[in-house]
Chain A
Amino acid sequence: MATTPKRSPNRARPGRTLALFLAAIVALYGLVALIGVTDDKGADSPWHPKFGLDLEGGTRITFQAKAESGGITADKLDQAKDIIDQRVNASGVAEAEVTTQGGDQIIVEIPGEKRANIVDEVGKTAQLRFRLVWTGNLASAAAPADTTADQKVVDDLDWSKLTLDQVIAAETTGVASLPAEYQPGIASLQKVAAGFVCNPDGNDVDDVAAKPLVTCDPKTGEVQILSPTVIEGTDVSGAEAVIPQGQVQWVVSLKLKGDGKKSFDTITDALFGQLNAGNDQASRFAVVLDGEVLTAPTTNGHFTNGESQISGDFNATTSKALANQLKYGALPLTFSVNGSEEIGPSLAGTQLKAGLVAGVIGLVLVVIYCLFYYRGLGLVIIGSLLVASALTYVMVLLLGKGVGFTLTLPGIAGLIVAIGITADSFIVFFERIRDEVRDGKSLRLAVEAGWVRARGTILAADAVSIIAAVTLFIFAIGVVRGFAFALGLTTLIDVFVVFLFTKPLVSLLARTKFFGQGHKLSGLDASHLGISGRKVSEIARTSPAGTAGKAN
C-alpha cells in the first residue's frame, strides 16, 4: 500500500452499463411496437396488458377432477381439456380459454361475457359406456311415474358380482337366467322402464357403471333396459367415419383396446350367435353417452381384434358426429364443478381502478419517504423505481403476448407489494455506502466498497423472495398464481435494476460535486450522517499528511 491508486484498475465503466441497460429497455418497447405492427388487425393492441377476468369482467368456471375416477394423469387431464374446449366452442362462446391447472383442474375462462350457465353443458360427466340391451323396443311412457322406490331396489343390489357371461346370458337367454337374488331388481327395472318418459331434448339419467340402466335413445324414443357396463368408453382407442371400399354408405369404424377388446370378443361371439339364430333383438348392444343411448346396433359379426364397424342410416355428418362422440364423448375423468364466477364489467372496472390507485398511492408514499430520508440519494431511488416500473410494464406486455400472462387483481397487489422489496435493495445498498463513508472512506470508494458488501446481501435476500414466489406459483391455485408470478417477476427485475441501473448511476453520481463532496442535500453530508468534526469529502480532498495530523 505504498501508493494511493486514484482509480482501481478493474473499475467498470458505469456510463456504458447504464446506457446499454436503458437501450435494452427501449429495445423491449421497440419489440412491443413491432408486435403491434406485425399483428393481425383483429388482435388486441399489444400496448394494453392482458387483464384477467376480475379486471375485465367475464366468466370463470373451475372443474375439479374427482379422485375416485381413477388415476389422474397429465395425459388424461389434457385429453379432458381438449374435449371441454370443443364443447365450449360448440356452445357458441367465442374466445374462451380452457386451461389445466394444478394437475387436477380445468379452468374455462370466457372474457367479457356472463355465461356461467354453460357449466352443465360443458362440464357434464360425459361417460361413454357399452352396455347390453337386456330389453329393447319399449315405448316411452305418456306421463312420468314415481319410480323412486323401484330405483332404490335396483340401486341396493350389488350388480358388480355378476360375471360377464351371466350378463351376456341375461340377454341371450333372457333375464330370468340371472340368479334369484337379482330377480326383484329385474322386476323393479321393468317398472322403472314402464314409467320412463323419453325426452327428445335430453334426459337426466343417473348413469352408474356397475348397475343396469333404464334409458332411451332420444332420437328414436326407444326405451331400453340395459345391462351393467361391459366395456368402458375409455377402451375406445379410435373411431372414424369412413366409406368402406366398394361401398357407398358411411359407417363408423370403431377400435377397442385393452379389456374392452377382450370383452368385445366374448360379447360379439355370443351376440352374433343370436343374430345367426334369427334373434335380432338379443344381438343388440348399446353405446351410451351420459346416460343416453347413442346407438344400439345389432351384432353381425364376431370381432376378435377389437375392430368393428357400426353401420346404419348414416350420412357424412351423422357418421362423423358419432365418431367424434365415440372418440371425444367420454371424458377420461369425472369432473365436479369447483366454482363458477361471473364478474360484471363495472365491478371489474372498479377493481382495476382500485388496484391502480393503490399502486400509485403506494409508489408516491415510498417516493416521499425516500426523498425525506435519503434526500439526493432519494432521487436515485425514484429513478430506479421508475426504471423498474417501465421494465415491469414492458415485461407484462411481452409476457401477455408470449406466454399468455394475464394481470389480475392479486397480480397488481403483487406488483405493489414488490415496490417495497425493490426499494429495500436500494436501502441496503445506500446504508452500506453510508457505513463506508462513516468508516472514513471517500464517497467514490465508499460506493464501490459498499456495493461489494451489499451485492451479496441483495442477491441472497432476493433469492429467498424468488424461492417463495416460485413455490407459491407451483403450489397455489387460482388467482394466487397471478400474485406469485408478479412477485417473482418484480424480484427478478429488481436484481437487474439494482445491478445494471442503480449501481452504475450511483458510481457516476459519486463523481459529481454534489454527491461526491457531500452537499447538504445529497443525503451524504456529514451532519446528515451524524459524523461530527469532519466533512465527508475531507479525507479525499485534503493532503494525506494534513489529514493525519488533524485527526490525531
Chain B
Amino acid sequence: MGRISTFGQHLYEGRVSFDFVGRRKLWYSISAAIVVLAALAFIVRGFNYGVEFKGGVEFTAQVEVANSDSADDMIQGVEDSGVPEAGDPTVQTSGTDTIRIQTRALTQDQATKVTQSLEAAGATEVSQNLIGPTYGKQVATKALTGLIVFLVIVVIFIWAYFREWRMSVAGIVALAHDLIITGGIYALSGFEVTPATVTGLLTILGYSLYDTVVVFDKVRENTKGILSSTTKTYSEQANLAVNQTLVRSINTSITALLPVAALLIVGAGVLGSGPLKDLALALFVGMAAGTYSSIFIATPLAAQLKDREPAIKAQTARVLARRAKGESGEGVAVATASAAPARTVRSSGAAKRAQPSRKPRSQRGKGGS
C-alpha cells in the first residue's frame, strides 16, 4: 500500500507524470476505435430487448429445485393451460428455485389461466408480470426526454460553475463516449436490455459527469492565473491536474465499483436474471468507462479546446519560447534535483499550483521572532 501512496506523492509533485493531455491523439484513437466498434456492434447485432420492451407476460415460478426437469414441467404447464397464445414460451432457470417463463402478449384472463396451470404443474408460487406493448417504448421515450433535459441542465451548470463552455463540451463528449461504449458492450454481449438497464444508463450520466467535475475542479485550480505564468502552459497544468487526481480517481472508481460489483454478484447469483443484475451490469460497465473518459477524454479535450483560445495560444508560445532560450538553466535545476529531491521539486513550483510559492511557515516566522 505504501507504494501506491508513494506513487501518489510522486504524481502530486510531478515527479512521476503520465502524459494524458499531450498524447491525446493516442487516447482519442483508442477511444474512437472502441466507439466505432461499439457502434458497429449496435448496428450489426442490435440490442437484445427484454420482454418489457416487446410486450408480453413474464411468469416467475418458484419451484422446489430449478433444473431442466422442473423447467420442462413448467413448459408442460403452459401448454396445459389451453391458451394457444402462450405457446412456444422462453423458459430459463434463475437462481436455485426460480424459473422464468416469458410468453407473448396475453390478456389478463389468459395470464391468470396460465398462472393456475403453472401452479398445477408444481410451482409453489407464481408471480406474473403482464407488460403492455407500449410500456418499453414509453420507458425509452421518457428516458430520452430525461436525457436531453439532463444534458441541457448540466451543460449550463458546468458552464456556470467553471465559467468555461469548453469544459461543458468536453464533459458531454466524455459522457457520450461512455454511453456509446456501454451500449456497444450490451449489443456485443447480448445482455438483455430492460428498463432497469435504462435506469443504469441514466445513472451513468450522473456518475460520469460527477467524476469529470472532480477532475475539472483540479484543472481549474491549477490553471488559475495561467496567463501570467511564464513557466507552465495550460495543457501542462491540466495534465498535472489529471495526474494529481489520479489516485483519487483510482480510489473513487474502486469504492464505487465495489458496491456495484456486490449488486452484480448477488443480483446474478441469488436472483438470477432480474432488475438488480440488469442495473448493476449497466452501472459496472458505464462507471468503468466513466473513469476512463474523465482522464483520457474529458481533460485532454478541454485542454485542446482551451489551447485554441488566442490568449492561451500566445501564453503557450511565450512559455515555449522562454523554455527554448533557457535550456542551460534547466540543466542546473536538474542537477540540484538529484542532490536533494524533495526540496528542489517543491521549489521548482512547476509541480504545484501556479501561484507564487510562499516560503514554508518555518521560514516565515523569522522576522518576527
Q: A337-B108, A476-B139, A477-B142 provided; 17 other pairs, C-beta below 8 A?
A: A3-B368, A54-B275, A347-B125, A354-B271, A409-B276, A416-B262, A419-B255, A427-B251, A465-B206, A467-B157, A471-B149, A472-B203, A478-B139, A480-B199, A529-B9, A531-B342, A544-B365
Given contacts A421-B256, A424-B256, A475-B145, contact A467 B62 (CB under 8 A): no
B325 at the interface (CB under 8 A from A): no
| Size bin of chain B's contact surface | 35 or more
A435 at the interface (CB under 8 A from B): yes
B135: chain A residues at CB < 8 Å are: 62, 338-339
How does the 8 Å CB contact mask read for B150-171 relative to A, with 1 for contact and 0 for none?
Answer: 1001100110010000000000
Q: In chain A, residues 369-391, which have Cβ atoms closer than 8 Å to a Cβ of chain B? A: 369-370, 372-373
Q: In chain A, residues 340-390, which have Cβ atoms closer than 8 Å to a Cβ of chain B? A: 340-347, 350-351, 353-355, 357-359, 361-363, 365-366, 369-370, 372-373
Given contacts A102-B142, A337-B108, A483-B199, contact A64 B132 (CB under 8 A): yes
Instruction: Report which B residues bind A (CB closer than 8 A).
Output: 1-2, 4-10, 12-13, 60, 62, 95, 98, 108-109, 111-112, 115, 124-132, 134-135, 138-139, 142-143, 145-146, 149-150, 153-154, 157-158, 161, 195-196, 198-199, 202-203, 205-207, 209-211, 213-214, 217-218, 221, 244-245, 247-248, 251-252, 254-263, 265-267, 270-271, 274-276, 279-280, 283, 341-343, 346, 352, 360-369
B4: chain A residues at CB < 8 Å are: 373
A413: chain B residues at CB < 8 Å are: 263, 275-276, 279-280
Given contacts A2-B368, A467-B157, contact A456 B217 (CB under 8 A): yes
Task: Say whether A528 contacts B2, CB under 8 Å.
Answer: yes
Q: Determine the distance from Cα of A367 to Cα of B109 in the docked complex, in whole angstroms.
A: 50
B62: chain A residues at CB < 8 Å are: 344, 346-347
The 8 Å CB contact of A539, one of B145, B150, B257, B360, is B360
CB distance from B258 to the nearest CB of A (A): 4
A474 at the interface (CB under 8 A from B): yes
A534: chain B residues at CB < 8 Å are: 342
Task: Say whether B217 contacts A544, CB under 8 Å.
Answer: no
CB distance from B14 to the nearest CB of A (A): 12
A527: chain B residues at CB < 8 Å are: 2
Given contacts A417-B203, A438-B9, contact A423 B255 (CB under 8 A): yes
Q: Which of A26-34, A73-81, A85-93, A113-121 contacts B (4 or more CB under 8 A)?
A: A113-121
Q: Determine the distance from Cα of A64 to Cα of B10 in the docked complex, in whole angstroms.
A: 59
Task: Say whether B263 contacts A532, CB under 8 Å.
Answer: no
Task: Say whether B255 contacts A366, CB under 8 Å.
Answer: yes
The 8 Å CB contact of A440, one of B217, B248, B360, is B360
Task: Say whether B10 contacts A530, CB under 8 Å.
Answer: yes
Q: Determine the distance from Cα of A339 to Cα of B229 in the docked complex, in whole angstroms.
A: 63
Q: Determine the distance from Cα of A3 to Cα of B361 in the docked complex, in whole angstroms.
A: 10
Given contacts A479-B195, A534-B342, contact A339 B129 (CB under 8 A): yes
CB distance from A475 to the nearest CB of B (A): 3
Q: In chain A, residues 91-116, which have Cβ atoms closer than 8 Å to a Cβ of chain B? A: 102, 116
Q: Determine the distance from Cα of A410 to Cα of B276 in the docked complex, in whole angstroms.
A: 7
Determine the main DSSP class of B at the interface with A: helix
A278 at the interface (CB under 8 A from B): no
Q: Determine the distance from Cα of A202 to Cα of B210 in the docked complex, in whole angstroms.
A: 58
The 8 Å CB contact of A457, one of B125, B154, B214, is B214
Given contacts A468-B205, A530-B7, contact A453 B221 (CB under 8 A): yes
A551 at the interface (CB under 8 A from B): yes
Given contacts A338-B135, A417-B203, A476-B202, contact A530 B150 (CB under 8 A): no
Q: Determine the distance from Cα of A479 to Cα of B115 in the docked complex, in whole angstroms.
A: 24
Q: Determine the distance from Cα of A517 to Cα of B213 in the docked complex, in whole angstroms.
A: 33
CB distance from B53 to the nearest CB of A (A): 12
CB distance from B77 to the nearest CB of A (A): 15
Task: Say whether B210 contacts A420, CB under 8 Å.
Answer: no
Task: Say whether A337 contacts B150, CB under 8 Å.
Answer: no
- Residue ID in chain B nearest A372 by CB atoms: B1
CB distance from A447 to the nearest CB of B (A): 15
Q: Determine the distance from Cα of A347 to Cα of B153 in the docked complex, in whole angstroms.
A: 39
Q: Determine the distance from Cα of A544 to Cα of B364 in the docked complex, in whole angstroms.
A: 8
Q: Determine the distance from Cα of A4 to Cα of B341 in the docked complex, in whole angstroms.
A: 27
The 8 Å CB contact of A361, one of B254, B266, B352, B364, is B266
Q: Determine the distance from Cα of A102 to Cα of B244 in the docked complex, in whole angstroms.
A: 44
A309 at the interface (CB under 8 A from B): no
CB distance from B2 to the nearest CB of A (A): 6
A255 at the interface (CB under 8 A from B): no
Identify the 3 closest CB pairs spanning chains A and B, nearest first: A468-B206, A362-B259, A530-B6
B6: chain A residues at CB < 8 Å are: 529-530
- Residue ID in chain A nearest B130 by CB atoms: A340
CB distance from A287 to the nearest CB of B (A): 28
Task: Say whether A468 contacts B150, CB under 8 Å.
Answer: yes
CB distance from B193 to the nearest CB of A (A): 14
Number of interchain pairs (Cβ within 8 Å): 318
A149 at the interface (CB under 8 A from B): no
Task: Say whether A120 contacts B210, CB under 8 Å.
Answer: no
Task: Say whether B343 contacts A552, CB under 8 Å.
Answer: yes
CB distance from B107 to the nearest CB of A (A): 9
Task: Say whether A369 contacts B258, CB under 8 Å.
Answer: yes
CB distance from B206 to the nearest CB of A (A): 3
Task: Say whether B271 contacts A350, CB under 8 Å.
Answer: yes
Q: Determine the distance from Cα of A342 to Cα of B112 in the docked complex, in whole angstroms.
A: 10
CB distance from A464 to the nearest CB of B (A): 5
- Residue ID in chain B nearest A472 by CB atoms: B202
A420: chain B residues at CB < 8 Å are: 252, 255-260
Q: Determine the distance from Cα of A58 to Cα of B255 in the docked complex, in whole angstroms.
A: 35
Q: Determine the distance from Cα of A283 to Cα of B5 in the docked complex, in whole angstroms.
A: 94
A460 at the interface (CB under 8 A from B): yes
Q: Determine the distance from Cα of A480 to Cα of B245 in the docked complex, in whole angstroms.
A: 32
B275: chain A residues at CB < 8 Å are: 54, 409-410, 413, 479
Given contacts A369-B254, A435-B244, A479-B275, contact A339 B132 (CB under 8 A): yes
Q: Determine the distance from Cα of A359 to Cα of B263 in the docked complex, in whole angstroms.
A: 7
A439 at the interface (CB under 8 A from B): yes
Q: Determine the distance from Cα of A421 to Cα of B204 in the docked complex, in whole angstroms.
A: 12
CB distance from A479 to the nearest CB of B (A): 7
Given contacts A427-B248, A471-B146, contact A476 B199 (CB under 8 A): yes
B364: chain A residues at CB < 8 Å are: 1, 4, 544
Q: Determine the distance from Cα of A542 to Cα of B361 in the docked complex, in whole angstroms.
A: 11
CB distance from A84 to the nearest CB of B (A): 16
Given contacts A410-B196, A476-B142, A528-B1, contact A434 B258 (CB under 8 A): no
B125: chain A residues at CB < 8 Å are: 344-347
A-B pairs with beta carbons under 8 Å apart, 7 shown: A344-B62, A344-B126, A358-B276, A417-B260, A424-B255, A480-B198, A551-B360
Q: Determine the distance from Cα of A469 to Cα of B132 in the docked complex, in whole angstroms.
A: 27
B199: chain A residues at CB < 8 Å are: 410, 472, 476, 479-480, 483
- Residue ID in chain A nearest B6 by CB atoms: A530
Q: Determine the distance from Cα of A362 to Cα of B9 in the docked complex, in whole angstroms.
A: 29
Q: Determine the distance from Cα of A369 to Cα of B341 in the docked complex, in whole angstroms.
A: 31
Task: Say whether B367 contacts A464, CB under 8 Å.
Answer: no
CB distance from A113 to the nearest CB of B (A): 13
A9 at the interface (CB under 8 A from B): no
The 8 Å CB contact of B143, one of A409, A427, A476, A544, is A476
Task: Say whether B5 contacts A476, CB under 8 Å.
Answer: no
How does the 8 Å CB contact mask read for A63-74 relative to B, with 1 for contact and 0 for none?
Answer: 010000000000
CB distance from B57 to the nearest CB of A (A): 9
